[in-house]
Structure 1
Amino acid sequence: MRKNAERRAALVDAAIEVLAREGARGLTFRAVDAEAGVPIGTASNYFARRDDLFTQAGGRIYERLQPDAATLGGMAEGPRDVAQVTALLRDAVGRISAYRTGYLALLELRLEATRRPELRAVLTERVREDVEENVARHLASGMPGDATSVRLLYLALNWLIVEHLTLPGVFAEEDVRRLVGEAVERALPREETRPR
């Protein structure tokens, strides 16, 4: 298998675009080559099997969805109140929405994982780690809410993002912003919803 890391990354990014546009059935080596603008046969030189494309695409999506250092630093600064939690979650929804193809590809991967045990194992581990990392980061920040609050917000906002990206006419941008705020208000325990 080829070792050029830059070319491999470009092929994985192309696979994400193909997944988002054509679904898992459309993810072929030939389609990835065409999307990446490379000679036919290039992807098969970098990936032994289609399953490798699926798992590496999933990993790459999560890399690209991670908050940047400034966002993570924002959790360490400013007030520890509901308004700050709301602002951080609005930022997360905005960041994910801005990478529409990545999130749609991730939905395709989740569906494909119901048929591919190896992919299911990779995604299960990655999503579990992501959820637990979010819980740990939130708790360490001193923000209001407990682990259950974080998990409830994760579940609610993920479905809001699915609606927003797959059926954008259901909720307008201002509805999405308002619903994020409402979800935070309702998920946090009442005694913690007052600014400190």
Structure 2
Amino acid sequence: MAAALIELRLEATRSDDVRAVLEPVLHQGFATDVAFHRARGLPGGREQVLWLHHLVNGAVLDAITIPVHPGSKVGEVVARAASKLTA
């Protein structure tokens, strides 16, 4: 599913029709994640959730394509970074 979402996001840069459908879904998903973060009393706020999104999206891309550092364990790197971002 992650690969399909990446493909859709790439296609949305080329097609206004795809963008019109996908953009509200992505925006609502982000808003839902921010609300969840706040409701659980997790440290940080909207900006930290945005950082986490970028972190995870990069990790997913690395996991399903050619990794930038083949020896690293993406899950462990994400966990360490997320812990530091929300400390």
Instruction: State the TM-score, normalized to the length of structure 1.
Output: 0.41
Tell me, in whole angstroms, the C-alpha distance in 2 between the residues paired with 1:164 and 1:126.
Answer: 23
Pick one of 66, 75, 78 that aligns with 1:167: 66
SS at structure 1 position matched to 2:47: helix
% same residue: 33
Cα RMSD, aligned residues only: 1.9
Q: Find out whether 1:114 has 2:5 as its counterpart.
A: no
Measure the CA separation in 1 of the matches of 2:62 and 2:75: 13
> Per-residue deviation at 1:160?
0.9
Q: Distance in 2 between matches of 1:143 and 1:162?
A: 26
Matched residue, 1:176: 74
Aligned CA distance change for structure 1 residues 114 and 149 (closer, same or farther; 3 Å): same
Residues 157 and 180, structure 1, Cα contact 8 Å, conserved in 2:
yes
Question: Which aligned segments of 4 or more residues in structure 1 are displaced greater than 3 angstroms?
Answer: 168-172
**What residue ranges of structure 2 are gaps of 5+ in the alignment?**
none
Whether contact under 8 Å (1:160, 1:176) holds in the other structure is yes
1:75 alignment partner in structure 2 = none
Count of residue correspondences: 87
Which structure 1 segments of 5+ residues have no match? Answer: 1-101
1-side partners of 2:49 and 2:70: how far apart? 23
* Partner Cα separation in structure 2 for residue 168 and residue 115 of structure 1: 25
